[in-house]
Structure 1
Amino acid sequence: MQRIHTQMFRIGIIISLSLGILTNPTYSKNQKPSKPVYAALAVDAETGQILYQQNADTVTPPASLTKIMTLLMVFDAMEQGKIRLTDMLPISRHAAAQLPCKLGLRAGGYISVKDIILACVTKSANDAAVVIAEFLAGSEPAFADYMTQRARQFGMKNTTFKTASGMPAAGQITSAKDMALLGIVANKHYKKYFHLFSTREFCYNNACHINHNYRLLAQKHLKFDGIKTGFVNASGFNVIGTYTNESGKRIVVVVMGGPTPAWRDKRVVEIAQRLKTIRPQTYVAQNTSSNAQPKPVLAAQTVPATTHSVNLDQTPEDDSAPIQEIAPVSTESGNYSLLLGYYGSQLRAETVAKQALIQSKLGVEKPISTKRIRIGGRYLFQASIDKLSKKQVDQASTVLRHLNIDSSTVEQPSE
């Protein structure tokens, strides 16, 4: 009989799936496949009971599922008071040079921790992931080493990280079993932040980005609320999905090696539907505990479960100075408008305007507009902040430019 072992580690619970090697005629547990191979696993997030599995131990590149661990490291640093949501982090040439998916960050600029989190969740932005990695550990390779050590603390025995983003790198591997463990830890021990993984849309620098996991998040009958997708050529299309079933149990489903995003997501739903009718396998616990303590990871410790959530639209109640303070913009008014770009939907234009209004510190009382205009044979919506003085638009433009948000100024005729 195979087992799942649950043990206490420091102040948190670390769940470790300790299954034996599955028999596979093509790939072994420690053999990296030369092309994408299908693997899947479904598990009860509370008990660790495996409900479905196929090729669960086969190693494969994690792709952007890596960013889940990156974000957990960010949450650790926030809990330890090392960073705050409002902190502005520097963008290096290395970060700006990352290949897509990316935000298109400019070297020498700055990006907030809040935007890094949302960019990794939705856009799966590689440049954003590297920014936070370099800030927390000094370099991306050093951060990847910390990630691997953290993975060992979680019980992920077959995972090695080499990048903060999941971009292809020699020796960067994982398995469906280890990714299920990562999903369990994120769900159980980062409840304060877990809702961020269900963010549907994120707007930055005049562009809005839809969560790559939108198909699962849009499911009507299965209420998926996370976690993340990933893809590189060697791995195929990967995803970790989480939902609550009819009995109120939290379920983690991992699918790796899908041929297309749609096929992968359909397979997750099929597995979830199948779990309603099949009888779960039963495993007897093994004692695989070890007294060996891994090297401290950014003063890492398993974050205990919390009952309250973090609202990214609220300023943390912390009187310590952020990395960079931006002076408040003058509150006077005038006949100038700050133009923020053109968008295909009114909702996106409104979202961009509201975000710019907050980030520029103009004050929520300033009016925004989403004017519908015809450009090049199609209708677009122009986002703008209105009734500003010349001093306000100059100050706000400087603030937004510092945040890599382009804008332009127009003087409106006096009424």
Structure 2
Amino acid sequence: MTDRRALSHLLRRLTFGPTSAEVDAAVRAGYGTTVSELLRPGPLPSPPELGADPVAQLDPGAGREQRQQARAEQNKQVTVLTRWWLARMTDAGAAEKLTFFWHGHWATSARKVRSAQLMLAQLQTLRRYGTGDTGPLVRAMVHDPALIIWLDGQRNTRRAPNENLARELMELFTLGIGAYTEDDVKAGARVLTGWQVDRATGVATLVPKRHDDRPVTLLGRTGTWDADSYADLLVRHEAHVPFLVRRLWVRYAAASGPSQAAAARIVAAGRNTTALLTALCQDPEFTAASGHLVKQPVEWLVGALRQLGVNVAELTQQQQQRLQSDLRGLGQVPLRPPSVDGWPAGGSWLTTASTQARLSAAQTLAKLAPAVADRLTGADRVEALADLLVVDAWSGGTREALRSVRDPRRMLALALASPEYAVH
């Protein structure tokens, strides 16, 4: 693989979609420097103005109509937050791609949480802690109000333990199946009893009378644990880093997972997410995984917006609504994962229905793209299109199909819907 192809591959994986100019800059900087620059943590973004949660502000005696209006306002706030995040994705590169990874990993949905404020707070937590040691991140997420609501933590009491949060904390977020027992789930649930969320303040607090503070045996150790010490047990467990490496590999390298040798090399980097991603990107199997990862719909759409120079913040409300409608058609809307398992990976995004949805969304993008006709003219317009979309090479069939199209916007739409653009 040439240096340019290797760097194009790196940028496609670490960001939502590089521009040709960004690839040029990476070639000049070199591979190692580019990895370091992309993964350098940045400041937290300034959040959008959402206002207060309208449902939390209702009087206890509010009528049905008032509650319906408050719910409608809640939905509007979630829409505002979603559009703000999409706009930020087009600007922030690798940092926001990592936040999106963690969002899919912790998989919390606004459908059940019903609070843009709590979802925003969770995103800020993922940004604040997601680049460093996983210890502070897991501690913060155990206390996260949105996650507590999403996984029924408020129903977890001394008298009626609810196992949802404890189970998913181990199975999906930190250890993986096989690293814990059902007794560990029961013990973890008891440790996490008593947490309640105040929606008006957005704060989770422990209510002592609802909490079970008796000693338990958890992951082979007996003691009196609290939420923080439980989180510490999880991240110190021998299964934690290998589990996280597999999850990172599936989203950044290939859906098939790493070989044992590659996994061992990356695990050796420790528990720091930036160090793990650095090791992943520098592993020889990462470069060899080019062409083996299907873009998630959000990655596909945001990457196209970046490469086409579409400023999401400057779009009309109708145009933004259309983009969100396209994402719904594609099957992935930020802040709305389908379940605690998050979104699928790999070939699940390559169905007949998804291909049709991509073509429809590609037509939307082609209409939004500025000065397409100026950029895709002349005898080399097919190559110009590959350069614009940072596609290493078209297949013979795709190349002939593109050459047969005269209209630049239709040509662009076909390229965006092509296998070469969907799989990278």
Q: TM-score, normalised by structure 2?
A: 0.21
More strand by share: 1
More helix by share: 2
Q: TM-score, normalised by structure 1?
A: 0.21
